[in-house]
Amino acid sequence: MRWTRWILLPLLAGALAAAGCGRQEAERETAGEQAEQAAERPSDLDAVRAALGISDPAEMEAALAAFLADFPESEYRSYALRRIFAVKRQADAEAALAWARATLAAEPTDGGKGGLHRALFEHARQADDREVALRAARDFHAAGLEAPGDLNAVAWSLVDAPGWDPALGARMALAAVDMAEDDAEKAMILDTAGWGLFKQGRHAEAARALERAVDLSADPDPDTCGHLAAAYEKTGEDEKLLALYRKQLERGMDTAVQSRAETLVTRLGGDAAAFNEELWRVRYARATEAADFTLTGLDGEAVSLSDHTGKVVMINFWHPT
C-alpha cells in the first residue's frame, strides 16, 4: 500500500497541476477577451459625443437613450437627459414636459434627476412663466440631490436675472458647495452664493462667501473679484479692497482695476506712483522666459519666437471658426 501511495501521489499531483494550468489558461483567455471587449467598447464620453454629433433629431434622441441605458452611472446623464428633453420640446412641448416628469420619477441617479429638474426650470423661465419656474426651483432645492452643477446653474439664474429670487438662489448655492468635487467648482458655486447674498443687501456675509471663492482659486475669476470688490465697497473695507486689487494687478494689467486701485491708494493717503512701481517689481520677479516655438504665418513662412529676442512681440492666433 505504501508503494501504491507513492506512485499515486505524483500522478495525482501531475493531474492537479495540469488541471490548474488548464484553468489558468482559460482564465487568461477570458481576461483577454474581456480586455478586447473593453477596448472596443466606447467610453461614456465617446458615446455621448457620438450621439450629439448626429444631425437627425430622432436618431440623436435614440442614440442618447442608448447611451443612458449603456452608462447608468455616467456623469453625463444630466446633459443627455436635458438634450433629449430639448429635442422632444422642439417637436411637442407638452409631450416633452410629460416625458420629463415621468422620467424624473423613474430616474435612479441624483445627477440625472438634477438635469431633469434643471430642464423643467429652464423651460418655464424661457417661457417667462415665473411662478412655474420658481416652483420648479423650489422643488429642486427641496429634493436634496447631489447635483451641484445643475443646482448652481439654476441658482445663478435666480441670482443674476433681475426680478427673480436671489435669496432662494443663494440658499441653493450654499447647499451645493459641499457637494462640489474640486476647488474650482466650489469657487464657482460660492460666487453664486455670495452674489445672491449681495443682491439681498447682506454685504458682510456676501464678502465672506466671495473671499472663500477667491481663496480657493490660484487664478481668481475676474467676475468673482468684481463681486468681492463690490461687497468690500459696501462694507467699507478699504484695506481689503486694495489688497484684492493688488492681487489682481500682480497677475496682469487691467486698466479698469488699475484706475480704481490708484484712486483708492490716493484716498488712503498713499502714493499711486510708488504703488505702481511695486506692482511692476512683483510682475518682473514672477516673470519667466517664454518657451521658444515656431509657427507658420499667414504668408506661409515659418516664424520663431527666438527670431525676435529683445523685442516686444504681439501674437494673434487665427483659427477657422
Of 36-40, 149-153, 238-242, the one with minimum mean pLDDT is 36-40
Residue 111 grid cell: 445627477
pLDDT in tens, 218-265: 888 999 999 999 999 999 999 999 999 999 998 888 999 999 999 999
pLDDT of residue 35: 46
pLDDT level of residue 32 (50, 70, 90 thresholds): low
Residue 287 grid cell: 516673470
Q: Is residue 130 part of a domain?
A: yes
**For the chain, how many structural domains are there in total?**
1
Within 10 Å of residue 221's Cβ, how many Cβ atoms? 15
69 pLDDT more than 60: yes
Higher pLDDT, 40 or 53: 53
Q: Is residue 308 part of a domain?
A: no
Q: Is residue 135 part of a domain?
A: yes
Q: Is residue 86 part of a domain?
A: yes
Phi-psi region at 236: left, alpha or beta (left = phi > 0; alpha = psi -120 to 50) = left
Q: Is residue 233 part of a domain?
A: no
Within 10 Å of residue 195's Cβ, how many Cβ atoms? 29
pLDDT of residue 134: 97
Separation between Cα atoms, residue 321 and residue 319, nearest integer Å: 6
pLDDT in tens, 274-312: 999 999 999 888 888 888 999 888 788 998 999 988 888
104 pLDDT more than 90: yes
Phi, then psi, of 303 in degrees rounded to 5: -130, 130
Buried b / exposed e across 34-70, counting CB within 10 Å, b at 16+?
A: eeeeeeeeeebeebbeebeeeeeeeebbebbeebbee
Q: Is residue 24 part of a domain?
A: no
Q: Is residue 249 part of a domain?
A: no
The C-alpha R_g of the chain, in whole angstroms, comes to 30
Of 19-23, 126-130, 202-206, 209-213, the one with minimum mean pLDDT is 19-23
Instruction: Show the domain range for 82.
Output: 41-143
pLDDT in tens, 158-182: 999 888 999 999 999 999 999 998 9
Q: What is the CATH number of the domain that holds 78?
A: 1.25.40
Q: What is the mean pLDDT of residues 124-143?
A: 96
pLDDT of residue 286: 82
pLDDT level of residue 9 (50, 70, 90 thresholds): very low
Separation between Cα atoms, residue 171 and residue 141, nearest integer Å: 8
Q: Is residue 118 part of a domain?
A: yes
pLDDT of residue 174: 97
Q: What is the mean pLDDT of the chain?
A: 88
pLDDT of residue 316: 77
Orientation of helix 183-199 relative to helix 222-235, angle to 10°: 40
The contacts of residue 139 (CB under 8 Å, 6+ apart) are: 117
pTM of the model: 0.77
Counting every residue, how long is the chain? Answer: 321
